[in-house]
């Protein structure tokens, strides 16, 4: 495991940071991708290095194919391989139907759907040559059921779920591709309130970042015979 490498997009903060640290704890070297949060990305990198794993930061706009290509070239230059890609970077704009603009549409689809495609395309090229690899997309319950006032977000995540299934067929048999669809996640005590009432979640609470990380680690390390699937991590919300 000591030589395995994982690239986590949007790894500077929140869920991406937790995933990067969780994979580092399992022995992975980490590429910490960020777009604008440079200081946070450096802090994530330093935390990983303090625990004895190698890590680098790479800045890129994932919606730009040339910048994505540069990010993967830099990854191979430094580590020489790539074993796991976590497509985590995303945006979550709130707007009623009449307020949705072309700019909002382009930015959301660009980050949440086009970006994961570009990253998966580059990762698959490396992994298929290696004849091994895992691609894990962080989707959302919003891609399975519509979120009111989050139309563009839900559309982008629904597209990401279908992208996952298509990639699984394209990359088989050497590379598995799966998605995790979290519901609402509680990062701090101040985030105890969700945009959905807790009584509409059968388990009556939000997910923790650690629970999402555990699902990522399972798909990255143990799920040898699982591909093209969506692991819904929502406390039963989609049952209501």
Residues labelled as active-site residues: 153
Both tokens assigned to 11: 């790894």
Angle (CA) 146-163-4 rounded to 5° is: 120
How far apart (Å, rounded) are the C-alpha atoms in residues 28 and 212?
Answer: 17
Q: How far apart are CA 127 and CA 209, in angstroms?
A: 27
Instruction: State both tokens at 98.
Output: 């009449």
For 38, residues 6+ apart whose C-beta sits below 8 A from its C-beta are 12, 57, 59
- Residue 64 burial (CB < 10 Å; 0-12/13-18/19+)? middle
- Decide: helix, strand or coil at residue 83: coil
């Amino acid at each position: 495991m000591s030589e395995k490498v994982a690239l986590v997009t949007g790894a500077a903060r929140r869920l991406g940071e937790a995933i990067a640290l969780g994979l580092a704890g399992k022995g992975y070297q980490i590429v910490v991708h960020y777009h604008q949060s440079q200081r946070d990305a450096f802090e994530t990198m330093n935390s990983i290095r303090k625990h004895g794993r190698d890590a680098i930061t790479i800045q890129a706009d994932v919606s730009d194919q040339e910048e994505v290509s540069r990010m993967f070239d830099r990854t191979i230059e430094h580590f020489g391989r790539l074993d796991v890609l976590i497509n985590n970077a995303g945006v979550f704009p709130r707007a009623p139907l009449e307020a949705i603009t072309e700019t909002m549409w382009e930015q959301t689809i660009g980050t949440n759907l086009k970006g994961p495609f570009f990253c998966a395309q580059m990762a698959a090229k490396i992994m298929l040559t290696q004849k091994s690899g895992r691609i894990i997309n962080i989707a959302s319950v919003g891609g399975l059921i519509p979120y009111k006032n989050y139309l563009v977000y839900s559309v982008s995540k629904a597209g990401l779920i279908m992208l996952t299934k298509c990639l699984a067929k394209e990359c088989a048999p050497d590379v598995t591709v799966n998605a995790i669809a979290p519901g609402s996640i509680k990062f701090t005590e101040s985030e105890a309130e969700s945009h959905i009432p807790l009584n509409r979640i059968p388990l009556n609470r939000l997910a923790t970042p650690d629970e999402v990380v555990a699902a990522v680690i399972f798909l990255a390390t143990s799920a040898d015979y699982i591909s093209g699937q969506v692991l819904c991590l929502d406390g039963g919300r989609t049952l209501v």
